[in-house]
Amino acid sequence: MTQDPGSNIVELRDVVFRYEERPVLTGVSLRVPKGKITALVGPMGAGKTTTLRLIGGQLEAQSGEVLFEGQDVARMDQTQLYAMRRRMGMLFQFGALFTDISVLDNVAFPLHEHTSLPDALIRDIVLMKLHAVGLRGARDLMPSDLSGGMTRRVALARAIALDPDLVIYDEPFSGLDPISLQTVAQLIRQLNDSLSLSSLFVSHEIERTFEIADHVIVLAEGKVVAQGSPQEMRASADPMVHQYVNSLPEGPVPFHYPRSPIAEELGLAPRSATSSRR
């Protein structure tokens, strides 16, 4: 069945990206459905963060298309790009709060930057966003007063301050204790549904990810190896997907970095013509 382009908020079509001569993405095609939670998973170095930067317009692909609501991000001028970014909320890894201003001012920051609303109305909006993440009572605290889980929730309140269409999460569960992790996961699910958002997040927490995601994209070696529902990913026969989903140490992702035979390195065997030191 052909996917209706209008049902996707973000789509990548045959995207190729490299840093100088190092290939990162080699013909990536994927979709982020509207109104759903999409998880981007895969081994370290697979190109997940690069994909987020391409979607946000911080990077530009060498070829292919990165589409937001059907519009090619690379063809946007500065005004269009800023307008697109105002429709996106971003929760950075570890929160990235401004350390010298209060919780309330952190959440208010995008409202002051991108709107001309009166201060009283901004304060009311901030209090509602903080209430949605359970931290209205922490509005006067400084970031240094917050736990890791609270920091992540304040950052989430800031990410939804402008009522975005798409919220992007970069490792939202990283470094959290089990209670905080479950709290943040439930918030992502609840806010996505109650605010009619579309969500895209990168995570290595497979169990929690599969509990809340509607759509999963597995990225490895610079390409999409599978995408579908969490149930489809668990049942996948693809060796890479099977290894990653089941946290197996052996599989297509090797334990050893490419190397010559150890006997050659130790001088116990003649060096073969085809071996090379890496």
Question: CA 142, CA 101: separation in Å to the nearest integer?
Answer: 6
- Give the count of domains, the chain: 1
pLDDT of residue 4: 54
154 inside domain = no
pLDDT score at 6? 65
- If you average pLDDT over residues 25-44, what whole number do you get? 90
> Is position 272 within any domain?
no
Identify whether 119 is part of a domain: no
Flag whether pLDDT at 68 surpasses 60. yes
What percent of the chain has a predicted confidence (pLDDT) above 70? 92
Establish if 107 belongs to a structural domain: no
- Best CA proximity match to 103, nearest among 135, 147, 57, 70: 135
210 with 233: CB under 8 angstroms? yes
Looking at every residue in the chain, the average pLDDT score rounds to: 86
Q: Which residue range is the domain that position 35 belongs to?
A: 5-87+164-265
Instruction: Tell me the pLDDT tens digit for each residue of 105-116.
Output: 999 999 998 889
- The reply to whether 273 falls in a domain is no
CB 156 within 8 A of CB 187: yes
pLDDT tier at 256, thresholds 50, 70, 90: low
H or E element in which residue 91 lies: strand 88-91
How do residues 166-209 score in pLDDT, each as one tens digit? Answer: 999 888 888 888 888 888 898 899 889 988 889 998 988 888 88
Question: Per-residue pLDDT for 73 more than 80?
Answer: yes
For the segment 92-117, the average pLDDT, to the nearest whole number, is 89
Whether the per-residue pLDDT at 212 is higher than 80: the answer is yes
pLDDT for 2 equals: 43
Q: pLDDT value at position 278?
A: 46
Cα–Cα dist 131/123, whole Å: 12
In a domain, 125, yes or no: no
Q: Which residues contact 262 (CB under 8 A, 6 or more apart)?
A: none
In-domain check, residue 105 = no
The CB-based long-range contact list for 28-33 (8 Å cut-off, 24+ gap) reads 28/64, 28/219, 28/222, 28/223, 28/224, 29/224, 30/217, 30/224, 30/227, 31/3, 31/227, 32/8, 32/166, 32/198, 32/200, 32/215, 33/7, 33/8, 33/9, 33/198, 33/214, 33/215
CATH number of 74's domain: 3.40.50.300
Q: Determine the Cα–Cα distance for residues 180 and 25; give it in Å rounded to an integer.
A: 33
Q: What is the pTM of this model?
A: 0.81
In a domain, 198, yes or no: yes
